[in-house]
Amino acid sequence: MTLDWTHFTPGSALAGGTLIGLACAVYLLGNGRIAGIAGVVGAPLEALLRGRSLAPQATRLLFLLGLLLSPWLWQLVAELPARQAGTSTGGLIAAGLLVGFGARLGNGCTSGHGVCGLSRLSLRSLVNVLVFMAAGFATVAVARHLPG
């Protein structure tokens, strides 16, 4: 295996990661919650589907609003990255179903178990991260390198 030096972007990766870590810190200290996107999306959705009040979900919904508005803020100062999908429409639907179901079943995703779980040294989160990383590597290996 060789490193892809032409596409390696260490500076923006470190800057982006730092911002993500800071955002988790602001949400934790400002609202007392883990910034896990699976929960930030899943909890209001569950409340909605069960006919419960959305009032306790207000800060999650505001976090989501921030996520949705971030590209607008970005493009005020810089160009957004070009849009290139990683799969077909059918692939997007299958992947979305798997990601949504899996994130709720495992109770977390790249942010909740990944960033926040590892930051609080949770063994449970580490196990989840290792499993989804391995599954991600294996899936791309099969999709890109398996003949036929």
Partner 1 sequence: MSPMPTTTTRALTALLAGLVFGLGLIAAGMTQPLKVQAFLDLGSTWDPSLALVMGAAVAVGLVAFAWARQRGKTWDGAPIDWPSATQIDGPLVLGGLLFGIGWGIAGFCPGPAIVALGSGWDDAAIFVAAMLVGMAAHDRLKR
Considering only residues 29-68, where is the footprint of partner 1 by CB under 8 A? 29-35, 37-38, 41-42, 45-46, 49-50, 55-56, 58-60, 62-68
- 54: Cβ–Cβ under 8 A, 6 or more apart, which residues? 44, 47, 48, 61
Residue in the structure block whose two tokens are 């999709």: 143
Asked if 137 touches partner 1 (CB under 8 A), the answer is: yes
Asked if 136 touches partner 1 (CB under 8 A), the answer is: yes
Please list, residue by residue across 50-67, b when 16 or more beta carbons sit within 10 angstroms of its beta carbon and e when fewer do: eeeeeeebeebeebeeee
Least distance (Å) from partner 1 to the CB of residue 148? 15
List the one residue from 53, 105, 147, 148 that touches partner 1 (CB under 8 A). 105
Least distance (Å) from partner 1 to the CB of residue 11? 9
